[in-house]
Amino acid sequence: MSQALNFLIGCVLLAACGNAGQEDLLRLPSGFPPPRIPAENPLSAAKIELGRFLFYDQRMSGNGTQSCGSCHLQKLAFTDGLPQAVGSTGQVHPRGSMSLANVVYVPALTWANPLIQTLEDQALLPLFGDHPVELGLAGHDQELLARLRDDAHYPVMFGAAFPEDSDPIRLANITKSLATFQRTLISGRSPFDRYTYDKQPDAISASAKRGRDLFFGEKLECFHCHSGFNFSDSVVHFNSTIVDRPYHNTGLYNLNGDGSYPAASQGLFEITGKPRDHGRFRAPSLRNIELTSPYMHDGSIATLEEVLAQHYARGGRLTASGPNAGDGALNPNKDALIRGFELADSERADVIEFLRSLTDREFVSDPRFSNPFSQ
């Protein structure tokens, strides 16, 4: 009963502070620009907290077994540690769960769909999508609303989050709340950030500093796709004048020698139908990359060492046998920057050390983002 009482008290308190400044609610780290917040869905403390409860509530799945948080675990920078995500009915997704860290700065969501550009729209995919089934709510939307209306606390929380709405428990407000909570998941307090923005010279090791120089050098070319404050070339913020939504083929596969990727996950090609878009995916942020293994869109590479040595250093991965056999280095659609390089063992260790310096331990333990049902 104490959790339920705290739940109700929290709703009332959050309603009282709903006019807090939006940037105060975000707590932006040093070096981070203000993000774009939709005018039709402004931040409020009450809406953030409602979104947090909905994000972790297993009643948000058709069979009551999963929540958004089931595939986005805070301790893993809001990924799930699986090669490919598994939905509430046990159906395996062809792609891995993407990290939600700094998702507020991403101009096109998911691995390879440029049409999904807002978190409000994106929320509908796991909720109601059936190819594959994730949360499995297709055809159960009225049942979901009834569950929330029958709860002892959600009517108060929805009322606090949407005080102008006479009937606040509805789908549009669910997606607005989920989106609002996810916009607060900002990660930028890693050792690298303390070294770079807070000017703490000992925040990262000498090895990480050497790895940083390699990462940002022309020998490896990493920084072309993993640049800026979010270590990604797909970024939008309040000050953006031009918004790019680039996608890349890194030579992960080359089925039949014609550039094909596995049928279940062909990248941007699934949207455009253009052959050159086979295998093109969004470059994710490298923040917290130490915590988000396994790697690549399908979780097919287990470690950062393998990512460097067997994929990028080679200029494309070789799959020697099996249904996905082929030499990715020879993929005709491969990005021109994926040329391969040579690294000494010590240099590879330095690059890995640099990547580990991007881990934000404060972010993955911040109580603002934690599961309220486990407290």
Answer yes or no: is pLDDT of 4 > 60.
no
CATH assignment at residue 111: 1.10.760.10
In a domain, 306, yes or no: no
Q: Which residues pair with 96 in a beta bridge?
A: none
Rounded Cα–Cα distance for residues 268 and 275 (Å): 10
In the chain the first and final C-alpha atoms are separated, in Å, by 12
pLDDT tens digits along 219-263: 999 999 999 999 999 999 999 998 989 999 999 999 999 999 999
Tokens of 271: 């949207």
pLDDT tens digits along 21-55: 677 899 999 999 999 999 999 999 999 999 999 99
In a domain, 149, yes or no: yes
Range of 97's domain?
2-187+366-374
In a domain, 26, yes or no: yes
Per-residue pLDDT at 20 = 44
Beta strand residue intervals within the chain, DSSP E: 318-319, 326-327
Average pLDDT over all residues of the chain:
94
Q: Residue 325's CB: how many other CB atoms inside 10 A?
A: 14
In a domain, 96, yes or no: yes
Rounded Cα–Cα distance for residues 208 and 84 (Å): 30
Tokens of 168: 């606040």
The total number of structural domains that make up the chain: 1
In a domain, 275, yes or no: no
In a domain, 353, yes or no: no
Per-residue pLDDT at 23 = 73
Nearest to 209 by CA among 344, 360, 313, 347: 347
In this prediction, residues 99-120 reach a mean pLDDT of 97
What is the dihedral angle through the alpha carbons of 338, 344, 349, 355, rounded to the nearest 10 degrees?
Answer: -20
Q: Are strands 326-327 and 318-319 parallel, antiparallel or unpaired?
A: antiparallel
In a domain, 27, yes or no: yes
In a domain, 277, yes or no: no
